[in-house]
Amino acid sequence: MEHPISEFKTKRGIARLLAACRNTADGLSWAWRSEAAFRQEVVVIAIATVVALLLPVSSFQKLVLIGVLILVLIVEIINSAIEAIVDRISLERHPLSKVAKDMGSAAVALTLLLALATWAVVLYNRYL
């Protein structure tokens, strides 16, 4: 028995790659236009990236400092996707909708804590 194929999965080769790039650009564009938290995080991360690149630490430490910031954006995008799916299903208040949105928010908060801890450890080891 052959599995049904989604109309969205019919592209192959370079057409699939180009479609994936368009989808990525659309997702980032939507996040920028629609999510204030995403915009705020991008501004902070842009500044922190410059700081990380200027710090007198190893290349690996710079990568970790910047990487953990990118992780914050990744989790923020996933959180926004969860919120969009919940809202698409229903705008009614429901306990499970709250759970889904709260868990997405908790994931962002934990990622921010990881980023702060990472920066604190690298800076502590460098300057103290």
pLDDT digits (tens, 9 = 90+) for 46-91: 999 999 999 999 999 999 999 999 999 999 999 999 999 999 999 9
For residues 13 and 22, give the distance between their C-alpha atoms in angstroms, rounded to a whole number.
15
Assigned token pair, 92: 């009614």
Q: In the predicted model, is pLDDT for residue 6 greater than 60?
A: yes
Dihedral angle computed from the Cα positions of residues 101, 35, 109 and 116, in that order, rounded to the nearest 10 degrees: 170
- What was the pLDDT predicted at 98? 97
For residues 107 and 109, give the distance between their C-alpha atoms in angstroms, rounded to a whole number.
5
For residues 104 and 76, give the distance between their C-alpha atoms in angstroms, rounded to a whole number.
8
Assigned token pair, 69: 């910031």
Band (pLDDT 50/70/90 cuts) for residue 3 is low
Catalytic residue numbers, as ranges: 76
Q: In the predicted model, is pLDDT for residue 7 greater than 80?
A: no
Band (pLDDT 50/70/90 cuts) for residue 12 is confident
For residues 34 and 28, give the distance between their C-alpha atoms in angstroms, rounded to a whole number.
10
Band (pLDDT 50/70/90 cuts) for residue 128 is confident
Assigned token pair, 117: 């801890």
The pTM (predicted TM-score) of the whole model is 0.87
For residues 111 and 94, give the distance between their C-alpha atoms in angstroms, rounded to a whole number.
26
Assigned token pair, 31: 């996040």
Placement of tokens 């919120």 in the chain: 83
For residues 82 and 97, give the distance between their C-alpha atoms in angstroms, rounded to a whole number.
10
